[in-house]
Structure 1
Amino acid sequence: MQQESLKNKTIKGVGWSAADALLGQGVTFIVGLVLARLLSPDEYGLIGICLIFTTVLNGIVDSGFSNALIRKKEVTDEDYNTMFTTNMAISIVLYVLLFISAPLVSDFFHRIELTALVRVTGLILFLNALSITQVTILTKNIDFKTKTKASLVSAIISGVIGITMAFMGYGVWSLVAQQLSKQLLYTLCLWVLNKWWPKFTFYKDSFKYMWGFGWKLLASGILNNVWNQLYQVVIGRCYTSSTLGHYTRANEYASIFSSNLTSIVQRVSYPVLAEIQDDKERMVLGYRKVIKVTMFVTAVCMISLGAVSEPLIYTLIGTKWHEAATYLPLICISMSLYPLHAINLNILQVLGRSDIFLYLEVLKKIVGLVPIVIGIYCGIYYMLLTSIFTGFVNLYLNSWYTGKTLNYTFWKQLRDIAPSYFTATIIALAVYFLKYLVLPDYLILIFQLLLGFFVGVVISEFLKFNEYIEIKTILINILKNKL
């Protein structure tokens, strides 16, 4: 593949992956605004507890096989069939275990209604297993257009279902119905659009290859998912389900930019970099460009989001979510590093070092004990503050091997992202104090957004940051092509 065609393929992949995030997640976000006004923080806290378990177990269902096949040069139908059969078997076993364990979850969190809620939401495991192979095939082919269509259809219809049930007074069950219908519709759309059908066969050699590469990623994924959910376990167990509801809402808004950008970067950069894994010099150049461009967008969006948190939350879902508005700035700062973590870990997978991947995950979780312990004994604010510090420690750990192998160290990465955080900080300072204006919250938010955009463009144009110029060039070329 020629460099230019790979670049075009990457831009196209990023475009459709971004469209997936903007359209599919955008619809979900709008639906969430309506539901947040109809439902209480306590009800969001209950669904948050249920999703702790489905999130962790979904990582086990995948088993790391999808990453193994995306990295593999030549993938056969035998590989896909083996992956599908294995995923389905694992999902059935895990659902049975979750069904049996549901009363224990209810006892732990002191909420009797969790038994039924956990058992119903657990069906997501089976639905997810049906879609994993389809998603892997599309990702391998850098075909995010099909995934975008599926995301959009499922988000719209499931949103209508959730809002309708909330208006009818079904409470937390409206959130359960939204989650289940969204995954069901997404899976159905993928099967219809992708037109790949399994043969329910199992091949030992295919499994051996996928397991050899994937088991370390599986262990890493389980460890990472469990650790990420520990924040919610601590909040749900040590505080109240209402506090957990506020935290999950703040976390969801922070994820609009951070997690979606991370997902876009992971989905596109992994298969693209995997194609040029034998050309180290070219891979490093692509690696640096991805980091600089991605982190410019992420830093500006995340830090600015934290600066407008109160007018934003009050305008969108009301003042009853004030507690969420106080959590959001801290979460935004911490999450702004997520794409950089993801890119470093993608490089480890591209280089085939899933053993280092696992080792780093274990080491980072030891570091991650600090905010967890502080959250238990000192409070949620101190937990969020400490997580910012541990985020930089974890970044140093994630970049250690890539720095050693590709000579792109932690300090070089910080230097590359410094212009992004400089711009983001200036924008945040410019807009933050507007919240003290004696005006309606929606007007304050509008003024903050307009001023932030103006300040960001002026700074970037004046200082001529390379990452800003790269983004501007890409957008101009896309616009020209459309016209």
Structure 2
Amino acid sequence: MGRPDSLKRRTISGMLWSFADLMGNQGMQFIIQIILARMLLPEHFGLIGMILVFVAVSNSIIDSGFTQALVREQHADQTDYSTVFYFNFAVSVCIYILLYLAAPAISEFYGQSQLILIIRVLSLGIIVNAFAIVPRAMYTKEVDFKVQMQANLSASILSGIVAIGMAFAGLGVWSLVGRTLAMNGTQTLFLLIKKKWLPSLEFSGKSFRRLFGFGWKLLLSGIIDTVFNNIYYLIIGKQYSAAQLGYYTNASRFSDIATQTLTSSIARVSYPVLSSIQDEQLRLKQSYRQLMKVTGYMVFPVLAGLAAIGEPLVRLVFGEQWVPMTLYFQLLCIAGMLYPIHAINLSILQVKGRSDLFLYLEILKTAVFSVLIVAAIWLDTGILGLIAAVIINSYLSLFINTFFSAREIAYSISEQIKDLAPIYVLALSMSFAVFAAGRILALHELGELAIQISMGVLFYLAGSKILRLQELPLVYQLMLPVVKKITPVK
């Protein structure tokens, strides 16, 4: 077993590369999204939003929980990897055929005839993605996110060029389809070439049963989670106009840049690292607790701050035609504050091999979320009511997740709340102060944002000092080696 300092270095290095990967990828996609938002109409984004749930669920099925199973498997071999590859490929082809045949019915459901061809072309990316699952699992298992960063950034740049070129040529919604396919193809090709891995001509039933025995519960959990994370695209697309769905789609993607970047960078690293010490209970709890506190300290102020500066940010970035998405964006940021904490709590269940409990939790949370969605629709609260249901569900889910994860690692709900509450209150206080400053200021968006962001940073740092939060010096210690590396030596 590796030494604690070695584990710390692996965690820091992996998290930094993972964060750099997602920041570079999401940052580039954000820039492309801005350009496309100014070239296309909200209706174009709405059309793509109508079929996101089908594509997302399909990709979740193809994974089949095998990625997590391979990462957790300490002695995975070529037979295991080849078995997973052939199964994923076969499933992807079957799903594509089903979506191809179902395209007319989906199109009729939304009353949008042009969706038939869009679905049939866009779904090709599902087959392409199946080729990347094994090499991506290999790199994740090795806590190596440098190559994944290179693959994702290259794909973001190339797909962005393709999309902007198509939009400039007046191809409308097809520029978004072209962007997705170019992204999928570039990522997959890069990972396959860089890893230099090819499957063997073998398929092991024993290997499949062992990996699927762990993964199938995560598969069902993933499908349930994916459906309910994307269910609003279906509901809003059916009940409201394509333009309204376009506003929600862009607001969701805008907030996801921060939420998913932070959540994914932490979850991708925490799972393989914590898995490596899964049998050392005391050390596992200490590492888990520290990870939880540092995560909250970095995540809470970012998302609370984005909610506070939402209006000038949307005006400056997207333009006046997108102002109706502002409130959606702000509320989704508040809901997203807890997502990284959810991810860490769920990671511990996977680390401890409790995929059965993982599935049970997803079913329980789905039942709760379903009640909230039905209530929002029945009360006719509109899109804002649906988003309010997301916020309520996020906070209820925290208690559900922590209740069960606490039993696996002896880190109780009260301990987690005690550790995170001061950070959370400080972040919200900073957010209110920044928002109030924006109401008082009467400046151009750029000047207003500069003052609000500066004020938020100073408020948070000063509050950390006053409250004597231990996470401030810890984050400083973690970042110091990185600063030294990127600072030129004189």
Structure 2 length as normaliser, TM-score? 0.96
> Residue 219 of structure 2 corresponds to which residue in structure 1?
218
Q: Is the 8 A contact 1:82 1:206 kept in 2?
A: yes
The answer to whether 1:400 aligns with 2:391 is no
Q: Contact 2:221–2:359 (CA<8 Å) still a contact in 1?
A: yes
Contact 1:58/1:125, CA 8 A, preserved across alignment = yes
Residue of structure 2 equivalent to 1:391 = 394
Q: 450, 456, 460: which one pairs with 2:460?
A: 456
Larger deviation: 306-315 or 439-448?
439-448
Structure 2 counterpart of 1:438, from 413, 426, 442: 442
Q: What residue in structure 1 maps to residue 357 of structure 2? A: 356
Equivalence map 1:16-35=2 (5 Å): 16-35=17-36
Instruction: Specify the alignment match of 2:469 in structure 1.
Output: 465
Residue aligning to 1:281 = 282
Q: Quick one: distance in 2 between partners of 1:193 and 1:457?
A: 42
Give, in whole Å, the separation in 1 of the partners of 2:387 and 2:290: 30
AA aligned opposite 2:135: Q
Q: Residue in 1 aligned with 2:111?
A: 110
The 4+ residue runs of structure 1 with deviation greater than 3 A are none
CA contact under 8 A between 2:82 and 2:201: conserved in structure 1?
Answer: yes
Say which is worse superposed, 260-269 or 437-446, in terms of deviation: 437-446
- Shift, 1:55, TM fit: 0.6
What amino acid maps onto 1:289 in structure 2? Answer: Q
**Long gaps (5+) in structure 1:** none
Q: Kindly indicate whether the alpha-carbon contact (under 8 Å) linking 1:50 and 1:117 is maintained by their aligned counterparts in 2.
A: no
CA distance in 2, matches of 1:392, 1:295: 14
- Code of the aligned partner of 2:410: N
SS in 2 for 1:368: helix
The residue aligned with 2:422 is: 419
CA deviations 1:429-482 (Å, max 9, x no partner) are 221123333222222112211211121222223333112221111112322344
Deviates more, 1:342-351 or 1:252-261: 252-261
Name 1:84's counterpart in structure 2: 85
Q: Which amino acid aligns with 2:436?
A: F
* Counterpart in the other structure of 2:347: 346
Aligned to 2:338: 337
Residues 253-293 of structure 1: CA deviation (Å, up to 9, x unaligned): 11111111111111100000000000011011111111111
Tell me the distance in 2 between the aligned counterparts of 1:389 and 1:403.
21
- Return 419-428 or 168-177, whichever deviates more: 419-428
Q: How well do the aligned residues superpose, as a CA RMSD in angstroms?
A: 1.2
Q: How does 1:226-305 map to 2 (within 5 A)?
A: 226-305=227-306
Distance in 2 of aligned mates of 1:405 and 1:423: 29
CA distance in 1, matches of 2:201, 2:468: 55
How many Å separate the matches in 2 of 1:230 and 1:375? 13
1:339-365 deviation per Cα after TM superposition (whole angstroms, max 9, x unaligned): 111111110011111111111111100
Residues of 1 paired with 2:369 and 2:187: CA distance?
Answer: 34
How far apart, CA to CA, are the structure 2 residues paired with 1:132 and 1:386? Answer: 33
After TM superposition, the structure 1 = structure 2 runs for residues 178-217 of structure 1, keeping only pairs within 5 Å, are: 178-217=179-218
| 2:300–2:424 CA contact under 8 A, matched in 1 | yes
> Could you say what secondary structure the match of 2:197 adopts?
coil
Sequence identity, in percent?
39
Give the Cα separation in 2 of the matches to 1:276 and 1:384.
38
Whether the aligned pair in 1 keeps the contact of 2:78 and 2:200 (CA below 8 Å) is no
Contact kept? 2:369, 2:389, Cα under 8 Å: no
Distance verdict in 2 for CA 1:200–1:173, change over 3 Å: farther
Deviation at 1:200, TM superposition (A): 4.2
SS of residue paired to 2:132: helix
- Matched with 1:41 is 42
CA contact (8 A) 2:52 2:233 kept: no
1:176 is the counterpart of 2:216: no
Taking structure 1 as reference, are residues 374 and 38 closer, same or farther at Cα in structure 2, changes over 3 Å only? farther
* C-alpha distance after superposition, 1:318-356 (max 9, x if no partner): 111112101112111111111111111110011111111
SS in 2 for 1:271: helix
Corresponding residue of 2:152:
151
User: Aligned partners of 1:453 and 1:14: how far apart in 2?
Assistant: 22
Task: Say whether residues 1:9 and 2:10 are aligned partners.
Answer: yes
CA contact (8 A) 1:371 1:384 kept: no
1:154-213 deviations in Å (ceiling 9; x for gaps): 111110111111111110100110011011001111111111111242111110111110
Task: Name the residue aligned to 1:369.
Answer: 370
- In the alignment of these two chains, the number of paired residues is 483
State the AA in 1 paired with 2:467: L
Which letter maps to 2:357?
I
TM normalised by structure 1 equals 0.98
- The correspondence of residues 39-78 of structure 1 with structure 2, limited to 5 A, is 39-78=40-79
The question of whether the paired residues in 2 share the 8 Å contact of 1:250 and 1:324 is answered with: yes
Structure 1 Cα separation of the partners of residues 372 and 42 of structure 2 = 24
Q: Alpha-carbon deviation of 1:218?
A: 0.6
